[in-house]
Structure 1
Amino acid sequence: MGLTKAGLNVAIIEKESSVGGGCTHWGTIPSKALRHAVSRIIEFNSNPLFCGNNTSLHSTFSNILGHAKTVIDKQTRLRQGFYDRNECTLLYGTARFVDTHSLEVTKSDGTIDTYTADKFVIATGSRPYRPADVDFNHPRIYDSDSILSLEHDPRHIIIYGAGVIGCEYASIFRGLDVKTDLINTRERLLAFLDNEMSDSLSYHFWNSGMMIRNDETYAKIEGTEDGVIIHLNSGKKMRADCLLYANGRTGNTDALNLDAVGLVADSRGQLKVDTNYQTDIDHVYAVGDVIGYPSLASAAYDQGRFVLKPSLKVKPKVS
């Protein structure tokens, strides 16, 4: 939007059927909507004005998903309005580089168009990391994207990975009275926090009835007919109705044909950038989850604004 307002010709290529990206459809917006709904239920049930009358609210994950979907729809319409009002060109399809200044866009009907530009911004985001030895096609094994399609109501869930996403979903499920086991591959929860904050989070999780297993890794994840069994390298075995694998993310760069532009992603599909979010190729920038930490929508907005300044050196074009 900033570049369009400055008079440049700008096109946004979007592979999904609607705008918003991972933040709107699978990340921040749905998880916060779910967490907000659960928080209100907990607040109601903790209020002596209500709980003293033997009145309590109960809901299931599948029920509150409907609330999250309405929030997602509103946010999608809001973002679409931003593009429309600023007359940003939206191209729906999947892009791949052809050479240093050209790329192909494959549309849903199979047609392919080629576009050229002076500069590119790679903002393709990330997806949940899926190790090859975990069967994510099993109906009881989920990642942080597919969990939003959960249709059954588990009584017991195992969450593997205690990062921000794992902890957030652990609090959501436990708030819905689902027995929750949180497996942390590190020694303490959210180690980037001050120790006092990490210890406080652990205490509140434990006090809510959550089981936390620190410094554990899996040897095998086995899907069964009605649940899942996780075999830990410590020798322990745990069984639950379903498992949420939330241990890491992968940058969406594998389909971009980066070789054509001279870029190489790391083992997690992420791109290296400098302080101006410029890659090793002068006219190619990268922002958002595709560059890794901190992987926050608010940070991505600021990164986009940083990219705006050097990009304005390109002379505006008249279409």
Structure 2
Amino acid sequence: MNQYDLIVVGSGPAGRRAAIQAAKLDRKVLVIEQGRRVGGVSVHTGTIPSKTLRETALNLSGWRERGFYGRAYRVKEEISAEDLRRRLLITLDHEVEVLEHQFARNRVQHIRGKASFATNETLAIVKDDGDIMHVTGKSILLAVGTRPFRPDYIPFDGKTVLDSDELLEIEELPRSMVVIGAGVIGIEYATIFSALDTAVTVIDPKSTMLDFIDKEIVEDFTYQLRDRNMKLLLGQKAEKVERLPDGKVSVTVDSGRRIVTDMVLFAAGRMGATDTLNLAAAGLEADSRGRLRVNPETFETNVPGIYAAGDVVGFPSLASTSMEQGRIAARVAVGAIAKEPQKYFPYGIYAVPEISTCGLTEEEMKERGIPYECGIARFRETSRGHIMGLDTGLLKLIFSLKTRRLLGVHIVGEGATELVHIGQAVLNLKGTVEYFVENTFNYPTLAEAYKIAGLDAWNRMGELPKEAPIATAQPLDTATTVTGAETATTEKKKAASK
């Protein structure tokens, strides 16, 4: 009764997709989840909560309407932490209900408990009542995700000095906040609280931020943050954090500057949640950040029959790519054919404003020696942008001069994470600049920016002679794949995202 074709540890994006995929192939599947409810970090403390918080903040603050009605405009004058939490709980309940229904209709069994290896094929599960049961799997997939990195020198108290998980439980909104860490998570929360009119200061020892994003997009994004009075102390390290008697927190940086604030969010990295798995019993070993190394094409670890997917394997650490990794791993684990995913996948940063990117950056084009041209469109150039009251927003397209193919799409502004999928489709279908020039887009929409940027590039590139065929794609025109985690491009992005 306790033998399975596939055992999945963790029910986040990678785990749930893997379990359902294996179940659809008529395999006996068990999911082990140590949290109170299924969904993993993505549903309870990560992707869904942060995006729900963002949407609630923008709606209640009237952020999107301030272009018309001024910076003092509010939908709700006094926004409380309870206002934010109320919508969050409704969203989380819905997500859990959907996931439980998916497990039920696909006949995926799931158990609540803490799993650890007894052997490379057997897991011990400690239930809430202390009982221990053992289960055996022909294959085992580790999709345990990550948790916030909590160094000893930071005096976490869950109230005024917090990590990104604890931030969701705050009882009142701070008037001021220091965010330590200018990575994706730190920047997302920093800009969300800034939209709620909290005075935010971001500190990071690196002199730049979001290095895997096209530099021109980051420059535009940075300008918008500074324009609304966010303080960016880049190239400065937070050396001391201490709680003060009056309830405030003091942060001292290596330049000697001291900031007194209501709240500190430490968001400088995450750790793979592998320390309780007894990896040694299975012959596995994690790196210094608790992550597991896998074959980038099959997601199998160095131990045959044991797989890992999602954030626990490192970059790109996206819910979308984690789902795809889980699906591929499950198919390989049960002996089914796993098709290679499309070469280009989008990366979304749900800050205020949003950033989304797909394909090669201008810096990568230069490094690879690919002759190129860019086309730019600003949202204020579109009728829809005027209707929405947008003063900001930028879409950038990068084309190969040799093949005229689209090789990169980069967006900062309202709806960027939705708009990017048009560019993603053209990238994967090997479309050229002519597609944007000749295509018809709904009017008025922000998607018109693609036509404007396409025309901008086309004017610079010159019209293609009618008798000259479009060259076929060259090897240099390919970008990294979801599974190609060890390519030079991905290595660079992995380092930048830490």
Normalising by structure 1, report the TM-score: 0.94
- Separation of aligned partners in 2, 1:52 and 1:62: 24
Q: Which residue type is aligned with residue 204 of structure 2? A: N
- Separation of aligned partners in 2, 1:283 and 1:52: 57
SS where residue 66 of structure 1 aligns? Answer: helix
Shift in Å, 1:240: 0.2
Cα deviations by residue, 1:8-63 (Å, 9 ceiling, x for unpaired) = 11100000111111111111111111111222320134433xx6997653324442
- Separation of aligned partners in 1, 2:74 and 2:53: 22
Corresponding position: 1:119 with 2:119: no
Shift in Å, 1:251: 0.3
Residue equivalent to 1:261: 282
Shift in Å, 1:156: 0.4
Residue equivalent to 2:291: 270
Q: Which residue type is aligned with residue 38 of structure 1? A: A
- Separation of aligned partners in 1, 2:74 and 2:273: 47
Q: Which is worse superposed, 143-152 or 221-230?
A: 221-230
Q: Which is worse superposed, 145-154 or 250-259?
A: 145-154
Corresponding position: 1:68 with 2:91: no
SS where residue 269 of structure 1 aligns? Answer: coil
Question: Where in structure 2 are the equivalents of 1:48-63 lying within 5 Å?
Answer: 48=69, 57-58=76-77, 59-63=79-83
- Separation of aligned partners in 2, 1:265 and 1:123: 14
Sort the Cα spacing of 1:46 and 1:61 in 2 relative to 1 into closer, same or farther, 3 A: farther
Match of 1:139 among 159, 183, 208: 159
- Separation of aligned partners in 2, 1:295 and 1:187: 23
Normalising by structure 2, report the TM-score: 0.61
Residue equivalent to 1:191: 211
Cα deviations by residue, 1:164-206 (Å, 9 ceiling, x for unpaired) = 1111111111101111111122111211111111111111111
Match of 1:103 among 120, 123, 132: 123
For the Cα contact (< 8 Å) 1:16–1:92, is it kept in 2? yes
Q: Which is worse superposed, 303-312 or 106-115?
A: 303-312
Residue equivalent to 2:220: 200
Cα deviations by residue, 1:137-163 (Å, 9 ceiling, x for unpaired) = 353101100000000221100011011
Q: Which residue type is aligned with residue 205 of structure 1? A: L
Sort the Cα spacing of 1:46 and 1:69 in 2 relative to 1 into closer, same or farther, 3 A: farther
Residue equivalent to 1:157: 177
Sort the Cα spacing of 1:259 and 1:299 in 2 relative to 1 into closer, same or farther, 3 A: same
Shift in Å, 1:131: 0.4
Residue equivalent to 2:309: 287
Q: Which is worse superposed, 190-199 or 36-45?
A: 36-45
Q: Which has the larger radius of gyration?
A: 2
- Separation of aligned partners in 1, 2:273 and 2:103: 23
Question: Cα RMSD (Å) of the superposition?
Answer: 1.7
Shift in Å, 1:6: 1.3
Residue equivalent to 2:346: none
For the Cα contact (< 8 Å) 1:189–1:202, is it kept in 2? no
- Separation of aligned partners in 2, 1:54 and 1:64: 19
For the Cα contact (< 8 Å) 1:188–1:198, is it kept in 2? no
**Which stretches of structure 1, 4 residues or more, deviate above 4 A after TM superposition?**
51-56
- Separation of aligned partners in 2, 1:155 and 1:30: 21
For the Cα contact (< 8 Å) 1:289–1:295, is it kept in 2? yes
Cα deviations by residue, 1:263-292 (Å, 9 ceiling, x for unpaired) = 100000000011211111111100011111
For the Cα contact (< 8 Å) 2:203–2:238, is it kept in 1? no
Residue equivalent to 1:317: none
Cα deviations by residue, 1:51-97 (Å, 9 ceiling, x for unpaired) = 69976533244422221221111111111111111110001100000
For the Cα contact (< 8 Å) 2:65–2:73, is it kept in 1? no
- Separation of aligned partners in 1, 2:72 and 2:283: 67
For the Cα contact (< 8 Å) 1:163–1:189, is it kept in 2? yes
- Separation of aligned partners in 1, 2:158 and 2:55: 29
Corresponding position: 1:24 with 2:46: no
Match of 1:174 among 190, 194, 210: 194
For the Cα contact (< 8 Å) 1:138–1:223, is it kept in 2? no
Residue equivalent to 2:241: 221
Shift in Å, 1:215: 1.1
Corresponding position: 1:234 with 2:234: no
Corresponding position: 1:296 with 2:315: no
- Separation of aligned partners in 2, 1:53 and 1:187: 33
Residue equivalent to 2:471: none
Q: Which runs of 5+ in 2 are unaligned?
A: 1-19, 337-498
- Separation of aligned partners in 2, 1:37 and 1:53: 18
Q: Percent identity?
A: 33
- Separation of aligned partners in 1, 2:72 and 2:132: 64
- Separation of aligned partners in 2, 1:52 and 1:114: 59
